[in-house]
């Protein structure tokens, strides 16, 4: 195992707030990039206080900003802008998720910054992208999920469109931005120059919407909310058990369905004309789901899942945080890591994804609990400012 993390030679300046931009910063930091998070003096990233808290300490921030360094810098004033330009000389990546035009208003356009450092890569995540008639609109993840098509297919057909239980629009955009950043870093090895990575929230959502458009154009089919089922794909649903819980079973492939029938003690169902083909099972989904649930209702969830596992049928419980913490597979795969928190002690958070065999990522510390914690390190050690100069910048609210 290498002591050098794979992105250990990459320096990132993170200017964004809340979710989409900072989540990209977290992913890069997980694999060793030096990520320096910039917050305006006196006005912290709202993420510090979002979500649940313990003893006044936000529980989301330590995860979202793990492995990062924190400085304060006012980009709305010329001196702050000039300081950032000094930092850009030795940076590889800038991450920002402001409304398009903001960086230009601050005299920090890619054109200006790339003149200082032609190798610079600017990762720009916004609601609608850097071009197009909607580019100046404010865009949050919820709007991106709606415009990208996801909200319309989420929920049950007799109810209004629903939100998924996490900020999936922001997270998808961050993932695509991170992919774009890594692609640009790789391409830079050949060309020697950087470029802009332009990621739109709505496009990131739309990109995972499968065959939504050809379904409509070629088949005249508009996907709608279907609850827990997949249209025309069965069995793939949740099923109630004897001990009043739900389990998920996915057995829509012919071979897997036959194994499910054996697990249920009804092998003849695999040859029943109503269920013997993929199309037939889709046509007779309701009847099939009733037969399966009649079986699951006769067993406790644990017993049903043991039988299904023995037969090789994909199935599982619908986990809450409690089941995740208790699951031995999560533990073996180190998907819950505990990191020391200066106020809360041992702090659990999600592990690293994906897992690299030779140079895996690592969680070194929680998100910096104090704004500007690394001001001295950056301004004095990196940029070479004197102690008096740093104090002057503080007094004038530049940092």
Residue 190 vs residues 161, 173, 175, 248: alpha-carbon distances, Å: 46, 26, 24, 47
- Look at residue 383 and give its three-state secondary structure: coil
Instruction: List b or e across 235-253, with b for residues whose CB sees 16 or more CB atoms inside 10 angstroms.
Output: bbbbbebeeebebebbbbe
- H/E stretch holding 61 reads helix 61-64
Kindly tell me the sign of the dihedral angle through the C-alpha atoms of 260, 262, 266, 270. positive
Residues 6 or more apart whose Cβ sits within 8 Å of residue 191: none
Single out the catalytic residue among 30, 45, 170, 198.
170
Please state at what angle helix 254-263 crosses helix 301-310, rounded to 10 degrees.
130
Closest CA to 185 of 304, 94, 278: 94
- Look at residue 317 and give its three-state secondary structure: strand
d(CA 301, CA 244): 8
Backbone angles phi, psi at 267, to 5 degrees: -60, -25
Backbone angles phi, psi at 18, to 5 degrees: 60, -115
The encoded tokens of residue 312 equal: 């090789």
Instruction: Tell me the pairing of strands 11-14 and 93-96.
Output: parallel
Angle at Cα 254 formed by Cα 251 and Cα 257, nearest 5°? 40
- Look at residue 113 and give its three-state secondary structure: helix
Kindly tell me the sign of the dihedral angle through the C-alpha atoms of 251, 252, 257, 259. negative
Residue 170: active-site member: yes
Residue 139 vs residues 100, 162, 203: alpha-carbon distances, Å: 10, 18, 12
Strand stretches in 101-157, DSSP E? 121-126
Q: Which residue has the tokens 């993929």?
A: 278
d(CA 210, CA 398): 47
Which residues are designated catalytic?
170
């Amino acid at each position: 195992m290498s002591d050098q993390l794979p992105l250990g030679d990459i320096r990132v300046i993170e200017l964004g707030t809340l979710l989409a931009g900072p989540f990209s910063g977290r992913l890069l930091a997980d694999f060793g990039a030096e990520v320096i998070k910039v917050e305006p003096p006196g006005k912290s990233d709202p993420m510090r206080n979002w979500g649940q808290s313990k003893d006044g300490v936000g529980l989301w921030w330590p995860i979202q900003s793990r492995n990062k360094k924190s400085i304060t810098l006012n980009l709305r004033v010329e001196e702050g802008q000039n300081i950032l330009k000094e930092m850009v000389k030795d940076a590889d990546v800038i991450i920002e998720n402001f409304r398009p035009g903001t960086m230009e208003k601050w005299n920090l356009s890619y054109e200006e910054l790339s003149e200082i450092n032609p190798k610079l890569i600017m990762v720009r995540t916004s609601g609608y992208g850097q071009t197009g008639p909607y580019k100046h609109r404010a865009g949050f993840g919820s709007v991106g999920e709606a415009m990208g098509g996801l909200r319309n297919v989420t929920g049950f057909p007799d109810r209004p469109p629903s939100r998924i239980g996490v900020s999936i629009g922001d997270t998808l955009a961050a993932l695509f931005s991170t992919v774009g950043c890594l692609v640009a870093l790789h391409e830079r090895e050949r060309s020697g120059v950087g470029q802009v990575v332009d990621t739109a929230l709505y496009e990131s959502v739309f990109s995972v919407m499968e065959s939504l458009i050809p379904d409509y154009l070629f088949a005249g089919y508009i996907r709608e909310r279907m609850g827990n089922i997949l249209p025309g794909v069965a069995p793939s649903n949740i099923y109630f058990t004897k001990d009043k819980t739900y389990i998920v079973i996915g057995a829509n492939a012919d071979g897997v369905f036959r194994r499910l029938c054996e697990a249920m003690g009804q092998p003849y169902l695999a040859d029943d004309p109503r269920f013997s083909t993929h199309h037939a099972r889709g046509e007779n989904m309701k009847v099939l789901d009733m037969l399966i649930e009649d079986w699951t209702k006769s067993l406790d969830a644990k017993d049903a899942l043991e039988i299904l596992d023995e037969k090789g049928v994909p199935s599982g419980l619908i986990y809450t945080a409690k089941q995740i913490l208790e699951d031995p597979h999560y533990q073996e795969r180190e998907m819950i890591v505990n990191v020391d928190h200066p106020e809360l002690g041992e702090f659990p958070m999600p592990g690293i994804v994906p897992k690299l065999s030779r140079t895996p990522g690592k969680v070194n510390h929680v998100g910096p609990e104090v704004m500007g914690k690394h001001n001295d390190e950056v301004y004095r050690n990196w940029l070479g400012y004197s102690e008096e100069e740093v104090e002057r910048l503080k007094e004038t609210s530049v940092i």
